[in-house]
Structure 1
Amino acid sequence: MSIHAVMFDMDGVLVDSERHWAPLENEHILPRTTASGEVTASEISGLNVADLYAYLIEEYETTIDKREFVALYDEVAEDLYSERATLVDGFDDLVEMLREREVKISLVTSSPRRWVQLVLDRFGLDGVFDTIVCADDIDGASKPAPDIYEYAADTLTVAPQRCIAIEDSSHGVQAARSAGMYCLGYRTEANHGQDLTNADQVAAGATELHDQLHALFSSDQS
């Protein structure tokens, strides 16, 4: 496999935010949104906010309108990305390795661009990515549909088969694989409930992720 691009998901892959999102959704957002109380953060991981609201309407009885729902998520996101989330271990080393190999780097996320900018500003990441693709950018379905990854590959003018996607949710893995990309599942303590078995490989933590990417590039050059 000749690798021309690596695509990072944001939550749980670029920033250590999932361990904050899950309790905030379970304790503060979802109980105010649905009447049944049956939906959990694990069930909705990887969906963008607009698709999430549509999903909750279809599967559960909602108790607030879409405008209130989006405002509630925005309020939580502002605090999470500005104060709580941290950059994942080893990201700078991964960028250095990819730049040395002249591999394009993309950020592909179901989060809206206003949340992404909070992360870029906080960690000084403006200019790191060759392209950033958010849910706002596509006229199509969010993860687990492949649309966002297909769009990201197109913006880089790279065939999906020449891309590696790094994902930490079952929806994200499905999206990347359906787009025809090689997918590295990223396993952390925060996503132990996510089924990553459809990923081509699963890395348990930053060191394994770095080692697996290095091995893939070494194989690519052999």
Structure 2
Amino acid sequence: MIQTVIFDMDGVIVDTEPVHRYAYFQHFDELDIQVTEEMFTSYTGNSTRNTFQKIKATFNLNEDVEDLILRKRNLFNDAFDSKEDLYLFDGVEKLIKDLYDNGMQLIVASSASKVTIDRVFRRFGLHHYFTHIVSGEDFPMSKPHPAIFEHAASLSTAPKENCIVIEDSTNGIIAANAAGIYCVGYNSEHSKLQDLSLADCVIQHFDELNFEKIRSLR
């Protein structure tokens, strides 16, 4: 019986991807580098640090990775504060409340920084529902490496076998599989270039899930 749900954040709880994309590509323009759509898509699920480590190596940049991270983060924060159409995915707040009200433990495990997660959670009043927040910035390797989900599962009040992960990215699903955790793939409008075939099941909308359905998964 499932007792803990581990949520990814970007692309699952909230649609911050367009804000991240804006910040990244504005930064790429400043750096005068051409990042293709295929290349950018391959970074989905990576932390900002791992993304810039790869970009620095690919384009032989002289800038320090930490400086690149800081500039992108500033661009993101400026856009986040001014963007009025930032929203939770349809049905996810209802699902979070349903799970919480029925005693399900909720954990977020996101590649985003702690600062970004906190900004999102404060904006939408989500802190109350989650027992733990796990940020990818605390791990040297990003998804598809399983470390973030292995750590999230270690924080569960239940064994790993009684946890599930909800993910929208190829890298995230691979990470959940590598961690040995049942994975629900969320096929959102922003997941079109992501391969969800390795998920244990795939949903198109959060209305397909509720406490009773999740509890009986596996």
* Range class of TM-score, shorter chain: 0.7 to 0.9
Secondary structure at the aligned position of 1:116 is classed as helix
1:162 aligns with 2:144: no
Cα distance change, pair 182–83 in 1 and its aligned pair in 2 (3 A): farther
> Partner letter of residue 27 of structure 2?
I
2-structure distance, mates of 1:9, 1:219: 18
1-structure distance, mates of 2:74, 2:53: 20
Q: CA deviation at 1:117?
A: 1.1
Task: Answer yes or no: is the 8 Å Cα contact 2:121–2:127 preserved in 1.
Answer: yes
1:64 aligns with 2:63: yes
Aligned length: 215
Secondary structure at the aligned position of 2:5 is classed as strand
Per the alignment, residue 151 of structure 1 pairs with 151
1-structure distance, mates of 2:200, 2:9: 19
Equivalences for residues 76-155 of structure 1 within 5 A? 76-84=75-83, 85-138=86-139, 140-155=140-155
Q: CA deviation at 1:187?
A: 1.1
Per the alignment, residue 20 of structure 2 pairs with 21
In structure 1, stretches of 5+ residues that fail to align are none
Output one character per residue of 1:54-108: Cα deviation in whole Å (capped at 9) or x when no partner. 2223334335332331122212321344343212222222123212432110010
Task: Answer yes or no: is the 8 Å Cα contact 2:8–2:167 preserved in 1.
Answer: yes
Task: Answer yes or no: is the 8 Å Cα contact 1:34–1:63 preserved in 2.
Answer: no
Per the alignment, residue 37 of structure 1 pairs with 35
Per the alignment, residue 73 of structure 2 pairs with 74
Question: Which protein, 1 or 2, shows the higher relative CO under an 8 Å CA cutoff with sep ≥ 6?
Answer: 2
2-structure distance, mates of 1:52, 1:80: 19
In structure 2, stretches of 5+ residues that fail to align are none
> Partner letter of residue 106 of structure 1?
I
Task: Answer yes or no: is the 8 Å Cα contact 2:100–2:129 preserved in 1.
Answer: no
Q: CA deviation at 1:215?
A: 2.8
Please, which moves more after superposition, 32-41 or 111-120?
A: 32-41
Q: CA deviation at 1:216?
A: 3.8
Q: CA deviation at 1:31?
A: 3.9
Equivalences for residues 38-57 of structure 1 within 5 A? 38=36, 40-57=39-56
1-structure distance, mates of 2:207, 2:113: 29
> Partner letter of residue 64 of structure 1?
E
2-structure distance, mates of 1:94, 1:42: 28
Please, which moves more after superposition, 153-162 or 127-136?
A: 153-162
Task: Answer yes or no: is the 8 Å Cα contact 1:164–1:182 preserved in 2.
Answer: yes
Per the alignment, residue 4 of structure 2 pairs with 5
2-structure distance, mates of 1:87, 1:42: 22
1:196 aligns with 2:196: yes
Cα distance change, pair 80–94 in 1 and its aligned pair in 2 (3 A): farther
Please, which moves more after superposition, 85-94 or 116-125?
A: 85-94
Percentage of pairs with the same residue = 29
Q: CA deviation at 1:207?
A: 2.3
1:171 aligns with 2:164: no
Cα distance change, pair 185–207 in 1 and its aligned pair in 2 (3 A): same
1-structure distance, mates of 2:71, 2:39: 16
